[in-house]
Amino acid sequence: MFKRIFKVVLCSILATNMVMSSFFYTKVLKPIGVREVDVVSHASTMGPPPVPSLRPGRGEGEDKGTEVSESDKNLPFESDFIESLEYNNSYGYLIMHLNKDFLSNGFVNEIQYIGINDVKYRYETVNTDRSKWYTIFIPYKYLNKGENILYFYMKDITYKTFVELGDEFKKQKISPKLIALENTDGVDVAFKLKLKHNSDEERAAFYDAVRGDLKEKITVSEIFTMAGSTTEIEKDKYDVSIDEDNDELTIQFKNGKRIYQSLYIYDIDIAVEGFLNTKGTVILYEHADPLKYNWDTKGDNSLKITYGEGVNSIYLSEISDIELSVLDEKGEAKNTKTLEENKDYKKSYSELQIFSKVFESNKKYRLSLYHPSVKTLNLDIESPDLANVKPARTLWADDIKSDEDFLMSFDEDDKAWLSELNKIVLKDRNGYSYEMYPIAQKAIDDEEHGYEDEYGDNPNRYYELDKDNLTLKINKRYFKNDSGRFILEFKAKGYDDSSVSFFIKRSGVFGTKDVKVEYRFLTDSDYSLELKSKTTPSTFVLRTYFDKRNNNAPRSESKITVKDQTTGDFKVLKPGPNEDFWSEYAGGNVLKIFAKNFIADHTYTVILQNNDYPTVVLKDIVAPSELIGELKEPSVKVKSVVKGNPVVISSNKEYVDAIQSIKISNDRGYSTTKTDGFVKNNDKVSLDFEDWRKSAGILETVGSFSMTISAKGYKDANIDFAIKDTNITFEVEKDPDKKNIAVNFSQGKLPEYGYTDSLAYVELNNKKLSKTQYTRSALGSTLLINERLLLDGENKLILKSTLYDNIEVKFDFDNEKLRSEKEALLEKVSTPSNARKLRNSQVKALQSKIENAKTLRELRSAGIDLDVAIFGSIQAKLNLKEEILEKINSSEINEVEKERLIDEVNSASDLQDLIELEDRVDDILAKYIAKEEEQKTPPINKEDEKDLSTNTNEEQKTDSNTVIAGDSKSDKTDIKHDENTITDSTSEIKSDKNKEIKDVESKKTPSNIIKPNASSRLFVGGSGGKSSSANQNKGTNKVSYKNWYKLTNGKWTILGENIKSSWVKDGNHWFYMDDNSELVENQWLYIDGKWYYAKAGGYIAENEWISYKDKWYYSKSGGAIFQSAWKNIGEKFYHFGIDGDLSVNTYVDGYQVDANGIRK
């Protein structure tokens, strides 16, 4: 029974310790979505989607972004970049699955920035998750409904993509963040969580949405972490309320519901329509017991903060910042400063220690303890009388054998320190600490506790300190035949804590071997102190490395201390190539302590302390008299060469003369160092690589190698170079699916594995390729180029390798897909439904871009340009703005009116608004021109009108865009025509004397553009629309003005004027002349992206309803019909669709319109 109870208790303790550990948080809690810990009770918040694979980081930093550059905006679109999209999920992300052909070495690890529409952000700002190689998550808040242009900035290339989020895209509001407050375990307890809202607007909307039925919208689940099981807590087990004034959510458990402290976490989910799901978690690691603190007046006077003697706490180890403020007489905090870790304080699981130097004696302070996810805790404290603390003592202890007592001695200078010594702690190699007591205490403990033999039952450890003879002894029994490195820590009143390290060596035949290290000053090069040994374990003692798990921080296997015997100064050295020492492998680790750590003619002791090996002590090292502490920086170049040619080192003559030795090595550590075997010639040095390779035992005849050059008075030069091969052949083949071409490389009859890994530069058809634009086979013998980048016909590849000669590859590619897609895209541009949405200039530009596209990449980019133009992209809006502004700036209207119009154009953001604004600008400019002409031309009186023939020879003053349709020389020519077509009546003359013609840029549309259900429409610049003849006279009882002339085909023209594809204004009416100089009648006109209707007689319909094939349209001032817009006509609202036809019996933008099109 006792054993069973013992096992249960032991298992509980182990489980609790595991839950309390950082390992448990990292390995158990994080994978199920727990993100942050939020209070002393260690409640936390998280936002875990229910599907583990969709758990991107939020990345909501302070990065406001910068503007995307114009050069980036002009990049071509990548059509194949995105394979698929997902959105309208509860996580609030656009999830993009990428085409793997674009990726290299894990795509998301290479993104540096992401541009969204016009703003460029650090990638981490948008999304911190880089765990998905081919998936990118973008929060909704960065996106727009409709078109979005995205830029992905990689190391050597930027990809630009276009994403359209349709009408079904729901840009939901950002839900509040749940921050747990102080919560404890127990029966019928309450959880309190703070609601942190994104904005005041969303705060109000959220509370409006949850009032009344909050409990129905909330789900509370209990997760048993050991089994990974989740159970939803029944709703009758809790009540829910929100204090809106204080933004606080309370979940009050009831009916005996128990909330557990360990092994359980509690997930809270609030689903509110129109908001992303609100998620949070409460974790109860430990009760919020009050912190305890005391001043270490027996030692270094530091402040110790704990949860109690021997109590560990995750909270203490996770404190991120500490602020210290002085409290004045009113208790208000003044002179606040932030403390620095390891300088002002240190922390562990058991205690937080704040050093005495930050305090003054007998003052009141406030300590503010900050945690990344826990509310700030404030401790008001009062300092005692703090004497000045003296620095720690520098101590030394020799290594011992496991069967020897520990002995160490102190200096005379240590006597004052020893008199204040009050505590010694022993730490073994595993980090366990044992407080030691004076040997005099042992007899008292034995008698008090009844310990029988000398040491057997007594669990304590004792030391013998002889302050007179300055010695310390510790019995060998306390080391339990252990081995490894131990540390003694000494605490003395008024002193910083001191420590000493020593190594216990195993005794006997299989005992610990001493480490032997040779040393010498490199007086022939950089004057470093070189430590060298080729025997194990010395090489490990000398080893340095970069810690990949810690941002490649430089690390050393051993702690190295240098003592200047001349001055008595000690210095603990820092590892690093640019710090105090570093090593390299050359058949064993060779370590250099750089010359800057020594003074000429001084004598030194170098101490190396390694956790696994005995201490190395090198004494009486004398620095040379000619020691140079500050070395020159070498400037050296070594070019890669083809196998069989000498390796040449280029520098300057001074440096070449100073070269003492050269070492060549491969990446496996094989090397040779020579002081001869190379030839100096002025500013160059040459050597025979083959000779050096053989002496070093290097098997590779080609490849990448390293060279270290040592020159007197200079720092060592470390250079990489390559020996290249020339005997590489290649073969080009096409994949069966024709998506790629494969270039296979071989040497002889065997594949040349690793060739593509050596490529430093790839050029295709005179364009350098990014590494993301080609693929290398796993074994490195094949290069794959996607069909998107290939020309239809001959292609040329140039390959530059670090190991081989440059290669030029020419091959033919039948790009049938390019031809077929080009034909389809040209047809798409020309369809009426698309042409109506584009300007003629846009259609022409797109057709040109499509026709000139030489690769699928260029062609598909043009396809996206078409989509962007159709969907009203940012660029299309900018183009329209520029055109309108150019019209205004080139006009001669007064500056005030011009400035007003420019401001109105710049403030317009919607494409439809710009289109309507363009109409108004055209009207204003036309009226201005008409007014100017009216002022230039004398008015015609009624007498003049009665006899127009008297004015036939009068010269008319017009500008270049005005054609006077008056009498001309053609009157006097002998024109034969049907006399019945002209009468003498002047009551309805087609035009008065001052006819004006407004020339409009005719941007031609392809001939096959036909508006649906419009058989009688004219597309200016083309011949596709079927023009229906009016078959009407201008009026048999009317006399046409002399310049108007009816042709035998029944069409009207203007004699003497070659007016083609242009507007004509006759009085207050507009007319249009087609490509044959004939008047357009009873026809639709499509001009510059707008539709007009020419009625019988050629009059352009303006400000009137048009009935056409059972549909209604409305023409505005200027004649263009309304499209994709609401309009108020006669105090009633009507909606016109994308084709301009009136919307009837439907719903538009949430409004109902009846059978007459009137909005209800």
Residues ≥6 apart with Cβ < 8 Å to 459: none
Structure tokens at 591: 């370590």
| Confidence category of residue 922, pLDDT binned at 50, 70, 90 | confident
Instruction: Tell how strand 186-187 and strand 1151-1153 pair up.
Output: unpaired
Give residue-wise pLDDT tens across range 144-189: 877 888 998 887 788 888 888 876 777 677 778 888 776 767 788 8
DSSP E strands in 166-288: the ranges are 177-180, 186-187, 190-196, 218-224, 229-232, 238-243, 248-253, 258-259, 264-270, 278-283
Q: What is the mean pLDDT of residues 856-871?
A: 81
Residues of the chain with CATH 1.20.120: 817-925
DSSP secondary structure letters along 703-758: EEEEEEEEETTBPPEEEEEEEEB---EEEEEE-TTSSEEEEEEEETTEE-TTTGGG
Q: What is the 3-state secondary structure (H, E, C) of 104-146?
A: CCCHHHCCCEEEECCEEEEHHHHCCCCCCCCEEEEEHHHCCCE
Residue at 699: amino acid letter: L
Query: Cβ(505)–Cβ(400) under 8 Å?
Result: yes
Of 399, 603, 578, nearest to 501 (Cα)? 399
Average of per-residue pLDDT values in the chain? 76
Give residue-wise pLDDT tens across range 43-82: 322 232 323 223 333 333 356 788 898 888 888 888 777 8
Superfamily name and number for 637-724: Immunoglobulins (2.60.40.10)
User: Angle 840-852/856-870 helices, nearest 10 degrees?
Assistant: 170
CATH 2.60.40 matches 729-814 = yes
User: Is 767 exposed, middle or buried (CB count within 10 Å of its CB: 0-12, 13-18, 19+)?
Assistant: exposed
Residue 592: pLDDT over 60? yes
Query: Cβ(593)–Cβ(531) under 8 Å?
Result: yes
Say which residue, 775 or 235, is predicted with more confidence: 235
User: What are the CA-CA distances from residue 1017 to residues 838, 1012, 1084, 1093 (Å)?
Assistant: 17, 10, 4, 8
User: Is 825 exposed, middle or buried (CB count within 10 Å of its CB: 0-12, 13-18, 19+)?
Assistant: buried
User: Is 554 exposed, middle or buried (CB count within 10 Å of its CB: 0-12, 13-18, 19+)?
Assistant: middle
Residue at 600: amino acid letter: A
SS3 content of the chain, % helix, strand, coil (to 5): 20, 35, 45
d(CA 283, CA 20): 11
Give residue-wise pLDDT tens across range 102-149: 665 445 567 788 999 889 988 777 765 544 567 888 888 788 877 888
Gap between the terminal Cα atoms of the chain: 84
d(CA 70, CA 845): 20
Quote the radius of gyration of the chain (alpha carbons, Å). 44
Query: In this predicted structure, what is the pLDDT of residue 226?
Result: 65
DSSP secondary structure letters along 410-432: --GGGHHHHHTEEEEEEE-TT--
Give residue-wise pLDDT tens across range 787-845: 888 999 999 999 988 777 788 999 998 888 899 999 999 888 887 767 656 667 778 88
Residue 463: pLDDT over 90? yes
User: What are the CA-CA distances from residue 983 to residues 989, 1034, 1041, 1067 (Å)?
Assistant: 10, 11, 9, 20
Query: In this predicted structure, what is the pLDDT of residue 125?
Result: 76
Query: Cβ(125)–Cβ(137) under 8 Å?
Result: no
Q: What is the mean pLDDT of residues 407-415?
A: 91
Superfamily name and number for 953-1121: Cholin Binding (2.10.270.10)
Residue at 169: amino acid letter: F
DSSP secondary structure letter of residue 1142: B
Residues ≥6 apart with Cβ < 8 Å to 972: none
Query: Cβ(598)–Cβ(559) under 8 Å?
Result: no
d(CA 1063, CA 1041): 18
Residue at 194: amino acid letter: K
Query: In this predicted structure, what is the pLDDT of residue 403?
Result: 84
pLDDT over 90 percentage in the chain: 17
CATH 1.20.950 matches 12-48+174-283 = no
Residues of the chain with CATH 2.10.270.10: 953-1121
Structure tokens at 319: 């404190």
Backbone φ, ψ for residue 637 (5° rounding): -130, 140
pLDDT over 70 percentage in the chain: 76
Q: Give one word for 601, left, alpha or beta, with left for phi > 0 and alpha for psi -120 to 50.
A: left
185-189, 584-588, 959-963: least confidently modelled range: 959-963
Of 557, 647, 566, nearest to 608 (Cα)? 557
DSSP secondary structure letter of residue 842: H
| Confidence category of residue 1033, pLDDT binned at 50, 70, 90 | very low
Say which residue, 755 or 948, is predicted with more confidence: 755
- CATH number for the 66-165 domain, one of 2.60.40, 3.90.1070, 1.10.10, 1.25.40? 2.60.40
Q: Which fold has domain 292-382?
A: Immunoglobulin-like (2.60.40)
Q: Which fold has domain 400-505?
A: Immunoglobulin-like (2.60.40)
Give residue-wise pLDDT tens across range 295-329: 988 888 899 998 777 677 777 877 888 999 999 98
d(CA 298, CA 420): 8
Query: Bridge-partner residues for 726, per DSSP?
Result: none
Structure tokens at 1002: 């005719």
Q: Which fold has domain 817-925?
A: Four Helix Bundle (Hemerythrin (Met), subunit A) (1.20.120)
d(CA 167, CA 175): 22
d(CA 707, CA 719): 5
Q: How many angstroms from the chain centroid is the CA of residue 417?
A: 56
User: Is 144 exposed, middle or buried (CB count within 10 Å of its CB: 0-12, 13-18, 19+)?
Assistant: middle
Give residue-wise pLDDT tens across range 508-543: 767 777 888 999 998 888 889 999 886 666 668 898
d(CA 279, CA 46): 6
Query: In this predicted structure, what is the pLDDT of residue 737?
Result: 62
Peptide bond into 537 cis (omega under 30): yes
Q: How many angstroms from the chain centroid is the CA of residue 728?
A: 40
Structure tokens at 1052: 């009207």
Q: Give one word for 1124, left, alpha or beta, with left for phi > 0 and alpha for psi -120 to 50.
A: left
Instruction: Tell how strand 278-283 and strand 119-122 pair up.
Output: unpaired
Backbone φ, ψ for residue 1085 (5° rounding): -120, 135
Residue at 919: amino acid letter: D
Give residue-wise pLDDT tens across range 9-34: 445 544 444 444 433 443 344 444 44
d(CA 484, CA 502): 8
Instruction: Tell how strand 461-466 and strand 433-438 pair up.
Output: parallel
| Confidence category of residue 772, pLDDT binned at 50, 70, 90 | confident
Give residue-wise pLDDT tens across range 234-288: 999 999 999 999 999 999 999 988 887 656 788 888 888 878 777 777 776 544 4
Query: In this predicted structure, what is the pLDDT of residue 60?
Result: 38
Query: In this predicted structure, what is the pLDDT of residue 462?
Result: 92
